[in-house]
Every structure is written in structure tokens, then in C-alpha cells.
Amino acid sequence: MSFTVFEVATALGAEAFGDGDIVITGASEPASARANDLALAMDPKYAEGLSEGAARAAILWDGADWRALGLEAAIVVPRPRYAMSGLTALLDRGPEIALGIHPSAVVHATAVIGASAAVGPLVVVGPRVKIGASARIASHVSIAEDTEIGSDAVIHSGARIGARVTIGDRFICQPGVVIGADGFSFVTPEKSRVEEARASLGAKTEAVNQSWTRIHSIGTVHIGDDVEIGANSTIDRGTIRATTIGDRTKLDNLVHLGHNVTVGNDTLLCGQVGIAGSTKIGNRVVLGGQVGVSDNIFVGDDVVAGGATKIMSKVPAGRVILGYPAMKMEQYLEAGRNWRRLPRLIDDVKALKKAVLSDDKDD
């Protein structure tokens, strides 16, 4: 893959300066850049590295003097991190999978594979599966019966997609993802100790735990357009209705969605987020790493939860929260300051108590 500086600038919607015909074959940090690399010096603090590398062209911050930096060409971007999105999309080769169906793949006779699709080695595609045009499916993927996947999907090695799942266009699925496994749902013949504890908040727990009986998962999973799911994440199918993920939502690695969970559009779930069954997450929500969300609650639109927050009750739209249990971020930070003052407060109370006892003796 190679592009001229002008072509890169056009793709980014940015302005190019100098020799726009220089050919770019890759991107690099400034100090390690080769002659055909585009150096990424989008902040003045990276400018020094340009003299250490061999780049002839670079992406620079707005207002940079590219000639003074010894460059032959430059692309200037107003929002560097957003420019990284366009640049990496341009240079990403994706998985190398030959067009067509690999001889070792097992594709059921009733499955429909779209035009220009690439199905890699040892892929298994079940009955009545429909896969859209230009899909790329890497090795050792399995797709169970009656599942539908839209066009331009990229499904990396080892993903497992269960029966009757529906997935929209431009889906990206990292290695090891499991979509459509059974939900974790069990019940006892009589009211269990867990149910009593929950109802009474621990005040009454007379029941003795019994053997657990499975509630089968006969629902499915619905995933919208432009969704990405990170490596080794798991999406359980619903019990009766579907577990759903809205358009343009992104899941990091090791995220788990329980049965019947609903996640809205444009939501970001970072690594090791766990959402328990039947909870609803709104649109444009951001949950930081290791956030845990209790079952059967609602998290409103535009909520932001800092890393390791534990959400145990509903959260109104627009709130920024942190901590365990979750509270408004400013409240949590103030509480943290107070916790750090506790040893001094305890010492003050001890001293006060000692002084009072001493006064009593004197009296």
C-alpha cells in the first residue's frame, strides 16, 4: 500500500504543503521514521524526534513551521487525534484472506455468501446463514444456523457466533469473541436464600439454598450497524427477547453483556466492563474499564462512569459518576479527601476524649 502526501491529505480533509508527490508507505513515530514513512509529530513535544529520523514528510500541529523542521512536505491537521482515525483507516491492511471460500471451510448448502466475500480456512457456516457482500471472515470462525450478517463485516480468527443472531453492516469482531451463548439464568423450586436476602436487604435469610434449575435462553442477539466488539468479549443471548446493541457502539476486550441487556447507540464500553442481565444502557454512554453494572436497572443517555465504578442503582441521564457505590464524581472526590482525613480525625477525637477524662478527674 502506498499513497502520495496529497492523497493522504485529501483522505484526511487536511491541507498539504511542499512536495505533495512524495510517496508514503507507512506511518511512524518521528525518531524511528524511515524515508517513506509519514512521521506523526502532531504536537510540538514530538518535533525534536524529526531530526533523529529520516522522514521527508510529517503530519504536524496547526501553525507548525514545516520548513524549519527540515521537512520536504507536511500535512497540517487541526485535531490530531481525529486525524489518526482517518490515517490508520487508510493504512490498515486488515486480515489477509483470499477472495472466495477456502477449500477447508465448511459452508452449508443453504447458506448464502455475498459477492466479493472472503471466507478463510476452517470456517464453519451453518444452515440458512446469510452473509453480506465483501465480508472478510478469518480462520476458525463458526457461524451457527439462521444468523444474518450485513455487508463489509470483518470477523477475526476464532470468533463464535451463535444461532439466529442478526448483525448489521460494517461489523468488526476481534479474535475470540462469543456472541449468542446462553444467559446465566437459574431458578430454585422454592424461594431461594438469594431472593430473600435481596428482598429484605439481608435482614431475613431463613431459606436454605436448593438445587438450581436452568432457565433456557430461547431469545437471540441483535447488533446494529458499525458496531465493533473487542477480543474475548461475550454477548449472551436473551431469555425470551433479544439482547441488543445499538448502531456505532464499541466494546473493548473482555466485555460481558448478560442476557436481555440493551445497549444504545454510540456507546463506549471499555475493557472488563460487566453488565448484568436485563439492564438498559442509554445512548452515548461511556463506561470506563472494570465498571460493573447491576441487573434490572437503567443507565441514562450521556452518562460517563470512571474506571472501576460499581453501578448498583439507576443513573439519570447526563451524570458523571465514580466510585463504589457509584456517586457523582465531585461527591466521590470529596469523600476521598475526607477518608484520607479520618486518621487525623480519630487522633483528634482520642485527644479530646483524653482531655475530657482528665478534666473530669480534676473536678
Which residues participate in catalysis according to the annotation?
A: 259
Residue 132: how many CB atoms within 10 A of its CB?
21
CB atoms inside a 10 Å sphere around CB 138: 23
Q: Does residue 44 sit in helix, strand or coil?
A: helix
Q: What residues does 15 pair with on adjacent strands?
A: 76
Burial of residue 45 (CB within 10 Å: 0-12, 13-18, 19+) is exposed
Q: What backbone phi and psi angles, to 5 degrees, belong to 38?
A: -95, 115
Any idea how long the chain is? 363
DSSP state of 315: B
Question: How far apart (Å, rounded) are the C-alpha atoms in residues 179 and 201?
Answer: 34
Cell matching residue 151 = 455487508
> Does residue 323 contact residue 337 with C-beta atoms inside 8 Å?
no
Packing angle, helices 5-12 and 80-91, rounded to 10: 120
Determine the Cα–Cα distance for residues 164 and 81; give it in Å rounded to an integer.
38
**Close Cβ partners of 106 (under 8 Å, ≥ 6 residues apart):** 123, 124, 125
The answer to whether the CB of 242 falls within 8 A of the CB of 167 is: no
Contact 223, 245 (CB under 8 A): yes
Q: From CA 216, how far away is CA 118, in angstroms rounded?
A: 34
SS3 content of the chain, % helix, strand, coil (to 5): 20, 25, 55
Residue 73 β-bridge partners: 18, 57
